Amino acid sequence: MITKQMNMNDILDMDDRIAEILTSYGLDCQNCSGAQSETLEEAAKGHGVVLEDLIKALNAVINE
């Protein structure tokens, strides 16, 4: 389960489809050096993304 406290790199490593979901929300984390230290919450806040919606979308992918 993906949570807001998780590191972006850890999330990206969970499933190959994660990068596509993040990109659809305007987060290009796979190409960002900030992904090494940012949490999902920090990334979402920094890009004006509704955190709860993003978490639901990411968890839907990994729970398939």
Number of domains present in the structure of the chain: 1
Is there a domain that residue 3 lies in? no
45, 51 contact by CB (below 8 A):
yes
Q: What is the domain extent for residue 53?
A: 8-62
pLDDT for 32 equals 74
CATH number, residue 35: 1.10.3910.10
DSSP string of 2-51? --TTSBHHHHHTT-TTHHHHHHHTT--GGG-GGGGT-BHHHHHHHTT--H
pLDDT for 16 equals 93
Is there a domain that residue 1 lies in? no
Instruction: State pLDDT tens for residues 1-58.
Output: 999 999 999 999 999 999 999 999 999 877 777 778 899 999 999 999 999 999 999 9
Say which DSSP state 63 is in.
Answer: T
pLDDT for 9 equals 92
Provide the whole-model pTM.
Answer: 0.89
Is there a domain that residue 2 lies in? no
Is there a domain that residue 20 lies in? yes
pLDDT for 36 equals 83
